[in-house]
Amino acid sequence: MTPEQTDLWLEIQNRQMLALEQIADCLSQLAPKTAPNYQRNIEEFKRFDWASVDATVERSDQYGAAIVTWKGYQFIRRSPSNKFGAAVWFSRCTGKDDTGENLYERLITFKPVSDKEVEPLPEKVSRYLDR
């Protein structure tokens, strides 16, 4: 190989590496960095299709799924035992904040859906929907 051919080959290799790095950067921007916290009606919980959110049930009990895996992370079922409303969610600890408190992310939350939460659309919006 001549020195010119070697230089050309090296230039092609450098451009290919740069292109691959750009592709990797784009793909990492497309992939979610945190769990999405999907919202579902609590009535769906026991029969929920975990594959629909790309999750796998690792452990279950009489209530349903207890531990699920999503993108290599395990999420544990939780539910409040306080004055707040009924809910079931799957979360995992992602680290600690500046004060030492645990930080969590949620994969999915199951809670009651109420008609009271739905508000009517204002007239300025609904007139476009009636066309």
Residue extents of the structural domains in the chain:
1-31, 38-117
Stated pTM of the model: 0.67
- 75 vs 92: CA distance, rounded Å: 5
Strand, coil or helix: 113: coil
Non-local (6+) Cβ contacts of 58 within 8 A are: 67, 68, 69, 74
Q: Copy the structure tokens of residue 25.
A: 């950067």
Q: Read off the pLDDT of residues 11-59 as tens digits, 9 standing for 90 and up.
A: 999 899 988 888 877 776 676 678 999 999 999 999 999 999 999 999 9
Looking at residue 3, its pLDDT comes to 86
**Residue recorded with tokens 């395990």:** 74
Provide the β-strand partners of residue 16.
Answer: none
Strand, coil or helix: 124: helix
